[in-house]
Amino acid sequence: MSTRLNFLVYLFLFSATGLFANDRDGLPIVPKPQQGTIAETYITFDNEWEVYIDPEAKEASDYVTSVLKECGVQARFTARKNSADLILDIQQKISKNREAYHLSVYKNRKIRVLAVSRNGLLYALQSLRQIISRSGNGITLPVCRIMDEPAFPWRAFMLDESRHFQGMETVKKLLDEMSYLKMNIFHWHLVDDPGWRIEIKKYPELTAIGSKRDFSHRDLTLEQWNKQFPERKMHYSQDEIREIVRYAGERGIQVVPEIEVPGHASASIAAYPWLGASSKLQGSGIWGDLYDVTDPKVEAFIRDVLDEVITLFPSKIIHIGGDEANYTHWENNPQIIQFMEDTGIPTFADLQVWSINRFSKYLESKGVRMMGWNEITGDNIRGEAHLKASQSEKLAEGTLVHFWDGDIILINKAIDEGYDVVNSNRHYTYLDYSYEVTPLEKAYSFHPLPEELAKEKASKITGLGCQMWGEYTPDLTRLYYQTFPRIAAYAECGWTKAENKNYDEFRNRVKNTEHRWRKMGYLNQQPAYSVQDDTFTLRQLPSQSGGTGSF
């Protein structure tokens, strides 16, 4: 059947369903669709469906089967589109947005999805699962039509596993909920001071030594750790990384790893002290040290690490951190000072930009884009005393700047210099902050486009990320409490246009999702303490049942 004839049939079937109310708000879908109409008619389906899936998306068949099974539907795939109960069709002409989809439920017990891409089909599936109700041995759906696409292409959740290691089972559960909310980037913070969590075959000590501690036990020596926790493994093998990347990809999620340079490197420097600006002088690892980026051997080490990381992650984006570098370690190394004098690098901020540019160009030569926290621009974003001068060097073209702190002026500056920006303003998007500091309503109020941003620059903001930092997430109770339900608010901030958002209406729509999370154990418990802000001040909380009672 031609595309034009398909579209005419689509319109005819919808015209036969009767009058519709323009009522997106009546659809209990999170994030909120851009356009939706719902009739007062509900249709009951059998619980066995014939499903047609476009050949371009056939690799998604197993995931489609699993989602429908969770909804009480047994799927049988068919190559005959006309006889299918559920049609999952790719038609690129419906929108210029690669993630767009149309979902229609008809009175004649047909469900049709048109999507620009495989990911669009998956997003339609998530919307469908949220409006399905079980009715005896059958399935009930409202007659409806949804035309939907995301406001921003970057909708990320970050998990910090350096400070506290969570493991594959937990990561997969979080990926399931990301897909449920149509979030498409898993930012995986695998490397930081407390622990190195990814196997690098060329440097086995990174995991043999660098993975052995976490934030709660950062003061233990390796010998003390091995005595207390002899069997505990706290890193991912490369095969485990591949499995998580596969699992995420099946759900339409790209995995972006973070490998910190030049700071937050204590774990790797503990394994190989010659990497550190101060540690190489002492002969043993020093907490908070920086890589000696002027040493060709250190640069070769970082390139070797990046080479192995590139082979594991098909997203073609690597986050190199770049934040909170304590330049005192460079300042106290005579060889680094001499290098700066010989090469004419005037400030330590310039040295950081110089080194990061070298890695950016190296990644570019491998077909990979570099991303980093906004200190990589060389700006002193928090007025820190140890940053004695700003930079004159400029970042390499194509770098993706991840804004987390500082004045909004810095976003404008980065855009003026040609960079794309992901907005993760910590005052709104840090999931480790308490609900007293960032209540659900404040999280929902976040808009990736700052009010101070000129309209012509809006296209340079690619989206947002919400960050689950791990200093005080030693167990799943704390991790889930901090994450749910705020992750739903951030998902809607990234998907739904600002003018279509309404907090009271969101709270009503999210009830079904919260019910799901209670059944799964994500909202059932509250920890005994609260992390107030980025100073990590702890406050005792009274006993409280339920995860959302005081939000």
Active site residues: 192, 264, 324
Q: Are 426 and 534 in contact (CB under 8 A)?
A: yes
CA dist 406 and 346 (Å) reads 23
CA distances from 316 to 127, 291, 327, 367, 395 (A): 28, 24, 30, 7, 19
Q: Are 151 and 497 in contact (CB under 8 A)?
A: yes
SS (H, E, C) 478-514: HHHHHHCCHHHHHHHHHHCCHHHCCHHHHHHHCHHHH
With 0-12 / 13-18 / 19 or more C-beta atoms within 10 angstroms meaning exposed / middle / buried, residue 387 is buried
What ranges make up the beta strands (E) of 79-193?
Answer: 86-90, 101-105, 111-115, 133-135, 138-148, 154-160, 185-189
Which residues does 513 contact at the CB level (< 8 Å), separation at least 6?
A: 30, 130, 180, 485, 488
User: C-alpha 120: how far from its chain's center?
Assistant: 18
Residue 499 is which amino acid? Answer: E
Q: What six digits make up the tokens of 300?
A: 């070769």
CA dist 303 and 314 (Å) reads 17
CA dist 91 and 104 (Å) reads 14
Q: Are 443 and 428 in contact (CB under 8 A)?
A: yes
**Nearest to 468, CA basis, from 478, 483, 455:** 483
Residue 188 is which amino acid? Answer: W
The three-state secondary structure class of 30 is coil
CA dist 93 and 459 (Å) reads 22
CA distances from 324 to 79, 285, 334 (A): 55, 18, 22
**Nearest to 487, CA basis, from 182, 124, 244:** 182
DSSP H stretches of helix in 85-221: 118-131, 168-180, 205-208
CA dist 269 and 262 (Å) reads 11
Which residues does 152 contact at the CB level (< 8 Å), separation at least 6?
A: 448, 461, 462, 463, 464, 494, 495
Q: Output phi, psi for 445, to 5 deg.
A: -75, -10
CA dist 29 and 51 (Å) reads 22
With 0-12 / 13-18 / 19 or more C-beta atoms within 10 angstroms meaning exposed / middle / buried, residue 229 is middle
Q: What six digits make up the tokens of 16?
A: 């036969």
Q: What six digits make up the tokens of 164?
A: 């506290």
